[in-house]
Amino acid sequence: ATVVDVARAGAGADTLGQWTFFLAGTLVGALSVFTIQQLLQLLAGGTPVISDSSETKTAKVTTNPPTTEITTLVVEPKENTLQNTSRPTLQDLMEQNNNKLEIEAIGHVRSVYRLCVGTPRQGLLAPHARGRIDLTIPADAVQGLDGYSHIWILFVFHLNTLSSKKKQGSPMKIAPPALGGKKVGVLATRSPHRPNPVGVTLARLDRIVTHKNLASLHLSGLDLVDGTPVVDIKPFVQTYDSADPNQVPDWVFGGLALRRSVTFNEHANQQLYDIVHGNRRLNFYGKKGERPQDALHNIKCCIEEVLSIDVRSQWQTEKSRKGKYSAERAVRLQGSKESPKTPTESTNECTQQLDNLLIRYQVQEGQRLTRETSQGSGAEDIVLVTAIEYLK
CATH of the domain at 140: 2.40.30.70
CA dist list (Å): 26 to 49, 72, 146, 319: 17, 11, 62, 91
- Domain C-terminal end among 239, 273, 304: 239
Shared-domain flag, residues 223 and 259: no
| CATH code of the domain covering residue 279 | 3.30.2310
List the pLDDT tens digit at each of the 392 positions of the chain. 443 444 344 444 455 555 455 555 555 555 555 555 555 555 555 555 554 444 444 444 444 444 444 433 344 444 444 445 578 898 988 999 888 888 999 999 999 999 888 888 888 899 999 999 999 999 999 999 999 999 999 999 999 887 666 556 778 998 887 787 789 999 999 889 899 999 999 999 999 999 999 999 999 999 999 999 999 999 999 999 998 888 998 888 877 778 889 999 999 999 999 999 997 889 999 987 899 999 999 999 999 999 998 766 665 666 666 666 666 555 455 544 444 555 444 468 888 999 999 999 998 887 777 766 666 666 778 899 999 999 97
Count how many domains the chain has. Answer: 2
For residue 134, the enclosing domain spans 107-161+197-239
Regarding whether 214 and 290 lie in a shared domain, the answer is no
Q: What is the pLDDT of residue 126?
A: 94
- Residues 383 and 270 placed together within one structural domain of the fold: yes
Q: What is the pLDDT of residue 180?
A: 73
Distances (CA, A) of 152 to 106, 290, 358: 14, 26, 29
Predicted TM-score (pTM) of this structure: 0.72
Is residue 133 domain-shared with residue 230, that is, in the same domain? yes
The answer on 263 and 310 residing in a single domain is: yes
Is residue 339 within 8 A of residue 378, CB to CB? The reply is: no
Within its chain, how far is the Cα of 161 from the centroid?
21
Farthest-apart Cα atoms in the chain, separation: 118
At residue 35, the pLDDT reads: 54
Residues 227 and 298 in one domain: no
Q: CB 133: neighbour CB atoms within 10 A?
A: 28
Per residue in 364-380, pLDDT tens? Answer: 887 777 766 666 666 77
Task: Decide if 359 is inside a domain.
Answer: yes
Can you spell out the DSSP letters for 275-303? HHHTTPPPSSSS-TT--HHHHHHHHHHHH
Q: Which residues contact 280 (CB under 8 A, 6 or more apart)?
A: 274, 356, 390
Q: Give yes or no: residues 289 and 217 share one domain.
A: no
- Distance CA(28)–CA(42), nearest Å, equals 13
Rounded distance, CA 342 to CA 327, Å? Answer: 10
The predicted-structure confidence for 16-69, as pLDDT tens digits, reads as follows 555 455 555 555 555 555 555 555 555 555 555 554 444 444 444 444 444 444
Answer yes or no: is 2 within a domain.
no
